[in-house]
Amino acid sequence: MQIYNTLTHKKEQFKSIKEGAAGMYSCGPTVYNFAHIGNMRSYIFADLLKRTLMHNGYTVKHVINITDVGHLVSDANLGEDKMRVTAQHEHKSLNEIAKFYTKEFMEDIKKLKLIMPDIMPKASEHVDVMLKLIDTLDSKGYLYSIKTGVYFDTSKFKDYGALMGLSFKELNDYLISGARIERASGTKNTTDFAVWRLSKPEETEMVWDTKYGKGFPGWHIECSAMSMMYLGEHFDLHTGGIDHLPIHHTNEIAQSEAATGKKFVNYWLHHEHLQVNGKKMSKSLGNVYRLQDIIEKGYSANAFKYLIESAHYRTQLNFTFDGMDGAEKTIDGIYSIIERLAEVSRTGRQGPKDSKLIEDASKIKDEFFKYMNDDLNTPLALSKLHNLIGEANKAYDKGMSREGAAAVLQALLEIDTVLGLEFDKHTQKEALPEGAKQLIEEREGFRLAKNFKEADLIRKKLHDEYGITVEDGERGPVWHKA
């Protein structure tokens, strides 16, 4: 399996530290607001990676953290804690805010049928682990104190900026020139970051009394402490958005390796941004959408997931509702042929085993996984899926055997162990409501009599009243849920 490693800036063969097992950490949500569709791209991507590793025989231990304290409005540790801002605005406690938005995030994960992570540690419950890491950094001379907190001196870490392929000075210049970071007052270097923030007198919730002063952890220290606690000081994979690359992930590497003297993570994988109608998502443009917003517009979560999977994770993806229309139509077509294949595999004719179709199904399936193993090349992998769908449709129209249908269906179900689009749900057809069954029989009578006007009226009635789509094949009408 080949993956693009941001750390080395090239595609590499994946080799796990422990044979047959992979440790994987994904930066989780800061639970101060609803996750938007750009956030969800991150978790769909991580799920694809995890499923592909599992298909290759790895047991994956996956950790996604919950940031419920410490993430300030600016990645540079400036401004207010995002959680506190929301709590003040909604007149709720930090705990109430965290609980509510964590629950909403979990609902989105379930709607997208992502494999749940093995561990979801909350930052607020691991402050003791963070303080131990801070103690280690302090004892090694990496920290200094100013009036706002305790900071990590980035100039003391010799490889600072390696994730970006930049030197210490180059990264500082890059962040200043790109207005990515504003220097906190009293810090030695532009890139220095807080490992412990001192709280204000009015901040009484989620603050801890320590030898460093009363306050709360910095955002970056959380991920290092929690990932190493559950995956070890040196683990295999770390995923996240490309926006985390110059600051958050760079800081994770610096503090982790400074503390342990070991390599932190072997493979770093970053996904590109999701735009909406060609523009960056922003509240001012009114183009920030949640998964639930899309569902309420009549689209399925699986169609959104398919749309995300249709683009390579390292390319920008432009979300549009026209694109969603296409994704919904495509996935409905896939479900339709799966229902047909399932029906034929149960009740179809006996006879020739469709040797070429069976051979093609196996070959195309192997090609699908070949592309998935090439840095999750989903566009090419999905092209193979559609080749298989095309072959299946042609064979179905000609009258395939049970064996042929079963072979294609099995190939599709194996492909879906990686895509996670619930193909298996469409292998067991629901019983037709009696009224719908009668309408289908009436429509078939009109169709055979070439009274297509009446046949189309009944087709529309079936769709509107029962949510059923009827299509005509050589063996008669086939129905499936719209």
Query: Which is the CATH superfamily of the domain at 2-271?
Result: HUPs (3.40.50.620)
All CATH 1.10.730.10 domain ranges of the chain, comma separated, are 294-426
Residue the block writes with tokens 């149960």:
346
* CA 314, 319, 325, 326 torsion-angle sign: negative
All CATH 3.40.50.620 domain ranges of the chain, comma separated, are 2-271
455 neighbors 447 (Cβ within 8 angstroms):
yes
CA distance 190 to 183: 5
CA distance 61 to 63: 7
CA distance 174 to 180: 8
Longest C-alpha distance within the chain, in Å?
89
* 3-class secondary structure per residue, 15-74: CCCECCEEEEEECCCECCCCCCHHHHHHHHHHHHHHHHHHHCCCEEEEEECEECCCCECC
Alpha-helical (H) ranges within 217-349 are 219-231, 250-260, 291-296, 301-309, 321-347
- The DSSP secondary structure of 379-413, one letter per residue, reads HHHHHHHHHHHHHHHHHHHH---HHHHHHHHHHHH
Cβ neighbours of residue 465 under 8 Å, at least 6 residues apart? 435, 436
Residues 381-429: tens digit of each pLDDT = 999 999 999 999 998 888 888 889 999 999 999 999 999 999 998 887 6
Q: Number of H helices and number of E strands within the chain?
A: 15, 14
Q: What does the pLDDT profile of the chain (482 residues) look like in tens digits?
A: 999 999 999 999 999 999 999 999 999 998 988 999 999 999 999 999 999 999 999 999 999 999 998 776 555 555 667 777 888 888 888 888 889 999 999 999 999 999 999 999 999 999 999 999 999 999 999 999 999 999 999 999 999 999 999 999 999 888 887 656 667 789 999 899 999 999 988 888 889 999 999 999 998 999 999 999 999 999 999 999 999 999 999 999 999 999 999 999 999 999 999 999 998 888 788 889 999 999 999 899 999 999 999 999 999 999 999 999 999 999 999 999 999 899 888 876 655 668 899 999 999 999 999 999 999 999 999 999 999 999 999 988 888 888 899 999 999 999 999 999 999 988 876 667 878 888 988 998 998 898 999 999 998 898 888 888 777 755 567 676 65
Nearest to 226, CA basis, from 331, 100, 123: 123
DSSP code of residue 126:
-
- The DSSP secondary structure of 455-471, one letter per residue, reads HHHHHHHHHHHH-EEEE
Q: What CATH number should be reported for the domain whose range is 294-426?
A: 1.10.730.10
pTM strictly above 0.85: yes
CA distances from 228 to 96, 163, 223, 235, 256 (A): 28, 19, 8, 8, 8
Q: Is 71 exposed, middle or buried (0-12, 13-18, 19+ CB in 10 A)?
A: buried
Nearest to 296, CA basis, from 317, 327, 324: 324
Residues 331-349: tens digit of each pLDDT = 999 999 999 899 888 876 6
CA distance 123 to 65: 7
Q: Is 151 exposed, middle or buried (0-12, 13-18, 19+ CB in 10 A)?
A: buried
